[in-house]
Amino acid sequence: MIRVAFFAHLAFHRPIVQPIMEALGTRCRCLLSDDRRAIVAFDPDVLVMTSHACLEYFRHHLPRALAVNVRHGMIGKAIVHRLPRRSSARRFDFVCVGAEARIESYARAQAEPGAYWLTGYPQLDPLFRRDPPPRLPLDPRAKTVLYAPTWNLGLSSAGMLGARLVELIRAEAPGVNVIIKPHPVIGEWRPEWMACWERLAAAGHGVHLVRDTHADVTAYMLAADALISDASSAVFEFLALDRPIILITNSLHRADPAYEAEDIIWRWRDVGEEVRDPAALPGAVARALGDPGARGDRRKHYAGILFGALTDGRNHERVAERILAVGAERARAERRPAQAPVIPTAPVWLWHDLKTRLLSSAPIRRILMRRFEAMRLRARSRKLGPSGP
């Protein structure tokens, strides 16, 4: 019986891979863990990951395992470009995608896998199925706006809106429910933002803060009539529901290290109404709720590029079937394919591995952010000059 391991580097990766493991059922032995040593001890035939974090570590310790990437987000934020140029740090054996049009981003980053699997994105299955939304302490008769910001200082709208978030959303749409769903890492890396939202939730009726930031965002998307975001994958995940989107653009976005001009989050901003000044947010909210069909053609166009025909809510099943097929072949062959990346000597990859582990630590990340992030962002912004699109 083949062995399949699922590595959940961060807690919010678990809801992405859990349905795949359940679809495999008793047809193979499975392990879902955030402990990479436990993954290595399990010695899987197939290793399923949702990001590049620790890929090179696993390449070194599990040289016979096939590595599969199930993306945890729809956008790149230049993450792959900032990885070492070694194939062992960038290339998976298989990458799951929703449509062939998204393959271009891997080619640009020189991270083409051995093969692409046209399976669709499992995390979107609840949206395509139109699963029931969760029961929330909100008025079901009122419209609901979901605010789902990203965490990067130069990309996020959190600092722009601050304590006026609810006031601005309701200025021309009084009485609407507001759900605040922070990016998963905000809870550990941006405590000051969480404290602000805690105060808003405590002071305002009909304001719900998702305190477990690693909770599955799709549940709250199902409860929302419109989405407000900035440079988050939530923008494109929400396309599965064909509901209005408002995108807030931080004036410092080009100075952020995660800015990537060719990424779809910047090339496709006409997927919703773009707002560059917080003062324009009230009108954008009122228009989105008053005419949800506006920009529907653009939403459908981009959804077709991202998802193709894989919108039946069975993406997790397709991934499971592919895993079973390659796992069975691997168990028979007991050898790596010819395109397997060459693992560098220990000092080379260990330095990158140490940096990955340090930057994944919430305390260390907060120290670095407090001391360097804002300063670096201001310096880069001055060097670039006035921010363009």
Q: What is the pLDDT of residues 180-222, one digit of tens each?
A: 999 999 999 999 999 999 999 999 799 999 999 999 999 999 9
* 371 secondary structure, DSSP code: I
HSE at residue 73, side-chain half, CA atoms within 13 A, is 22
136 and 170 belong to one structural domain: yes
221 and 251 belong to one structural domain: yes
Neighbour tally for 212: CB within 10 Å: 13
Q: Is the pLDDT of residue 158 over 50?
A: yes
Q: Is residue 388 part of a domain?
A: no
Q: Is residue 353 part of a domain?
A: no
Highest mean pLDDT range out of 96-100, 309-313, 336-340? 309-313
- Note whether 313 and 125 are within 8 A (CB): yes
State how many domains the chain has.
2
Tokens 């949800």 map to which residue? 292
| Residue ranges making up the domain that contains 240 | 131-307
At 43, which amino acid appears? D
Q: Provide the token pair at 90.
A: 């960038």
269 and 142 belong to one structural domain: yes
pLDDT-derived band at 382, boundaries 50, 70, 90: confident
88 and 33 belong to one structural domain: yes
Q: Is residue 368 part of a domain?
A: no
Q: What is the dihedral of CA 230, 241, 184, 369, to 10 degrees?
A: -10
Mean pLDDT of 228-249: 98
Q: Is residue 20 part of a domain?
A: yes
CATH number at residue 148: 3.40.50.12580
What pLDDT score does 337 carry? 52
Q: Are strands 29-33 and 66-70 parallel, antiparallel or unpaired?
A: unpaired
CATH number at residue 98: 3.40.50.2300
157 and 249 belong to one structural domain: yes
What pLDDT score does 341 carry? 65
93 and 108 belong to one structural domain: yes
Share of the chain above pLDDT 90, in %: 72
Q: Is the pLDDT of residue 110 over 80?
A: no
Mean pLDDT of 136-144: 96
What pLDDT score does 339 carry? 52
What pLDDT score does 334 carry? 61
57 and 149 belong to one structural domain: no
β-bridge partners, 209:
180
Q: Is the pLDDT of residue 269 over 80?
A: yes
Q: Provide the token pair at 287.
A: 């228009």
Q: Is residue 114 part of a domain?
A: yes
Mean pLDDT of 365-388: 79
Q: Is the dihedral of CA 250, 256, 261, 266 positive or negative?
A: negative
Mean pLDDT of 281-303: 97
Instruction: Give the separation between CA 75 and CA 71, rounded to whole angstroms.
Output: 9
Mean pLDDT of 138-153: 96
Q: Is residue 351 part of a domain?
A: no
Share of the chain above pLDDT 70, in %: 95
pLDDT-derived band at 338, boundaries 50, 70, 90: very low
290 and 322 belong to one structural domain: no
Backbone angles phi, psi at 146, to 5 degrees: -100, 125
178 and 98 belong to one structural domain: no
Per-residue model confidence as pLDDT tens digits over 293-326: 999 999 999 999 999 999 999 999 999 999 999 9
What pLDDT score does 358 carry? 75
Q: Is residue 354 part of a domain?
A: no
212 and 226 belong to one structural domain: yes
140 and 227 belong to one structural domain: yes
At 286, which amino acid appears? A
Q: Is residue 352 part of a domain?
A: no
11 and 146 belong to one structural domain: no
* 382 secondary structure, DSSP code: H
Neighbour tally for 199: CB within 10 Å: 12
Q: What average pLDDT is seen over the chain?
A: 91
What pLDDT score does 104 carry? 76
Q: Is the pLDDT of residue 13 over 90?
A: yes
